A and B are shown apart, each in its own frame.
Chain A
Amino acid sequence: MPTSDTKIQDAFRRVYGRMIDDCPPAPEWEDISTPTLSAARAKQRRAGWLVAAGTAILMSVAVGGVVWLVGPRDGGVGVGPGTESPTTTLPAAVARMTVVFRPGELSEPEWDAFITVVGHYPSATGYFFADQATAREQAASLFADDVNALRVLGEYPDIATGYAQVDFAMADDAFAFQEQVTSLSFVVTAIGPNGPRLGRGYDTSPELSLGDDGVRAEFWQYAYRLDLPPEIQVQEAETTVTTTAISTTEILTPSPYPTDDLGRRLVLAEAGLPVYACGWIVFPEGDAPDPVATPTVAVEALLDGAGPAGVDQENFYDIYDWTMVFESPTWVSLLGYPNTPSRPDFYPASYGYVEFGRYEERWIDVSSAWCDPVASSLAVPQGTASITELWPETVRLALTRRAAGLRLDEDTSVLISGEMIGPGSAAAEWRLDPSVEVDPESRQLRIEIQETACAGGRPPDDRDITVLTSDRAGALVLTVFVAPVEGGARCPGNPWYPITVELDRRVGDQPVIDGRSPRGNRP
């Protein structure tokens, strides 16, 4: 006999009851005041985080051991209301921290040094990239060319929520230093659009207004987590404030409605990578997306057959005129131009977008929402990065992963030595094929790969697999990328999949390591 509705409803209640029992505390509301940064107060805190404010930047670092400094998300020491915050709007701030190592210590491979930079602001735009560019330059100057010295931790890669981390991991790579390293400087710069704001509060202060120079107020929050062995000395350093290229930052505000203005620009510096986007749709360079010239699927048919829109608005499909801006056999993107004089009192956005994915012979609305068209130009050298996501408050880049090793958004497009990997390709784990004996004289290597990205448990039979090879201190480094499953997939775990790697040399007896890890796992 089928279970009764009453019993089913009870089951729901039990499950939800347990979830609610386990509910985390709601975020506190914190109005941010903007007191003058006090040297005395900052020192009292002794927490190890650093705040840049005006020309006075203080630094407090703990020495030795593991020091957990900040992290509202982690329940660590929060930088909250009434704490350090600039009193005036500054164009930019650069904080510099110098960690001094005793001579020779970086040649020891058995310890790790992590400098974690945590920026927290939900609408901080672009700052992280400037940080990383700087960090990368420093890393490049410090390390040999083939060290994965910097990488973004997977734990907080989401710039949309304002969390970003740079994990400065050296560890086993220390052997690759080409010169004695006695100091390591790490420079970070952060700018947010909504005024001086620290911690996890909701800033309602007047500093939210747009400044005369077109730059909304900035905020600074820096926190460093130092995981250092006790013998490492951390030297407090004088810090400086400078105005750099980021001073031209213009934070976008939502487009007025209706508007045809797609030309708003987020400019971080003079270098240009203009990209246009609305929601999840990223367009090629240009003033506005061009319609697909010869679509094979009619827009009307897509909308009619798609069922309810992903957006919870009854007539979402009807209030826009839709233009197809991308089409592939498994993916279609539509941009909607508003066709009605009124708009729902819901989001401050003007346009709409829909993305359809092909599932089991049907087109499904996999993503749709209101969106604001934005254009961006970022201060990174041409050819070194691609923008993978662009929102008014969020920019995601895939930066060139040069030999020094830098990657944003761990699974977005990754460029290595100028080589483009398909968008969304993710590094896969690999191991030597246990069924095949390695022949040192061979120029082929038989390995098995396992995707780390969600692929629905499907093998990558019909997807691009790219194997990049490089050298690192006498070892052969293999990094395997697999193109993503189109349309998204669940994550039940992926199978090992055998491939043969063609080498430009014989296998020999050199170590072969996995380029995914900065430490270089040795399969």
Chain B
Amino acid sequence: MIGDAEVYRKYREELTAFARVLVGRTDAPDVVSTVVTRFLASGRSLTELREPRAYLMRAVLNESRSLMRRRQDAPLIDEAHVDRSPDDQVAAAVVALPPKQRAVTFLAYWEEMTSNEIAALLGMRPGTVRRYLHLARGKLREVLDADE
């Protein structure tokens, strides 16, 4: 019988990577911990979820945004790390994207998911996903155009 631990282990790496993109490396494990422990603290089991991956990914996104809210919208990504990279301008632009745009671009371009898949995963309309992708690409285009 599959238990909470198995469900969690199945998705934890993906969740942590997702959180890493959203809140930075320092807070990513805590975001994942918070999401899972809060859920379990409610007395429910991960095995009850029909779509555990979708639930957890959404919860990580929400918790990340909540974390940003608590920190008064301060940039959470460890930008110092980003700044040391050769593509610092591009990286800084990605880091500066709102969390939802970062989330959908990560899923689209790194995870190579379609807009429909992302929409289903994050509970958004496909059109909303495409709009976020469009906005995010526009911001990155500004940076890349300026470089050339």
Which residues of A are interface residues toward B (Cβ below 8 A)? 2-3, 5, 7-9, 11-20, 22-27, 29, 31, 73, 122-123, 158, 160-161, 193-194, 200, 202-204, 208, 253-254, 280, 308, 310-314, 345-346, 348, 366-367, 369, 393, 453-454, 484, 488-491
Who on chain B is nearest to A311 by CB? B62
| Contact A3-B25, Cβ < 8 Å, known A312-B123, A490-B74 | no
A27 touches B106 (CB 8 A): no
Q: Chain B 24-61 against A: per-residue CB contact (8 Å), 1 yes, 0 no?
A: 01101110111011101111100001100001001001
Q: Does B16 contact A (CB under 8 A)?
A: yes
| Contact A23-B38, Cβ < 8 Å, known A16-B106, A202-B4, A488-B73 | no
Residues of A contacting B66 with CB < 8 Å? Answer: 369
Residues of A contacting B137 with CB < 8 Å? Answer: 5, 8-9
Which residues of B are interface residues toward A (Cβ below 8 A)? 3-5, 8-9, 12-13, 15-17, 20-21, 25-26, 28-30, 32-34, 36-38, 40-44, 49-50, 55, 58, 61-62, 65-66, 69-70, 72-75, 81-82, 85, 87, 90-91, 94, 100, 105-106, 108-110, 122-125, 128, 136-137, 140-141, 144-145, 148
Residues of A contacting B17 with CB < 8 Å? Answer: 19-20, 23
Cβ of B28 to closest chain A Cβ, rounded Å: 6
| Contact A312-B73, Cβ < 8 Å, known A12-B109, A202-B37 | no
Residues of A contacting B73 with CB < 8 Å? Answer: 454, 488-490
B38 touches A393 (CB 8 A): yes
Per the bound structure, the CA–CA distance linking A62 and B123 in Å amounts to: 51
Ordered by A's residue number, 30 sampled pairs between the chains whose C-beta atoms are within 8 Å are A3-B148, A11-B94, A12-B94, A12-B105, A14-B87, A16-B106, A22-B25, A23-B17, A27-B33, A29-B8, A122-B37, A193-B41, A202-B5, A202-B8, A202-B37, A204-B5, A204-B40, A208-B43, A312-B122, A312-B124, A314-B123, A346-B58, A348-B42, A366-B69, A367-B69, A369-B62, A393-B38, A453-B72, A491-B72, A491-B74
Cβ of A61 to closest chain B Cβ, rounded Å: 27
The secondary structure that dominates the B interface is helix
| Contact A26-B29, Cβ < 8 Å, known A8-B140, A123-B41, A204-B4 | yes
| Contact A27-B12, Cβ < 8 Å, known A8-B144, A16-B109, A123-B38 | yes
Who on chain B is nearest to A10 by CB? B109
Residues of A contacting B3 with CB < 8 Å? Answer: 204
B41 touches A23 (CB 8 A): no
A158 touches B58 (CB 8 A): no
A26 touches B12 (CB 8 A): yes
Per the bound structure, the CA–CA distance linking A122 and B33 in Å amounts to: 8
Per the bound structure, the CA–CA distance linking A174 and B70 in Å amounts to: 35
| Contact A20-B20, Cβ < 8 Å, known A5-B137, A200-B33 | yes
Residues of B contacting A15 with CB < 8 Å? Answer: 82, 87, 90-91, 94
Per the bound structure, the CA–CA distance linking A18 and B61 in Å amounts to: 20
Cβ of B37 to closest chain A Cβ, rounded Å: 4
Per the bound structure, the CA–CA distance linking A202 and B9 in Å amounts to: 12
B29 touches A25 (CB 8 A): yes
A3 touches B105 (CB 8 A): no
- Identify 11 new A-B residue pairs, CB closer than 8 A, beyond the known A11-B87, A24-B16: A3-B144, A8-B144, A11-B94, A15-B94, A19-B17, A23-B20, A122-B37, A160-B70, A311-B62, A312-B62, A453-B72
A16 touches B34 (CB 8 A): no
Residues of A contacting B124 with CB < 8 Å? Answer: 312
B41 touches A29 (CB 8 A): no
| Contact A454-B109, Cβ < 8 Å, known A3-B145, A161-B30, A204-B40 | no
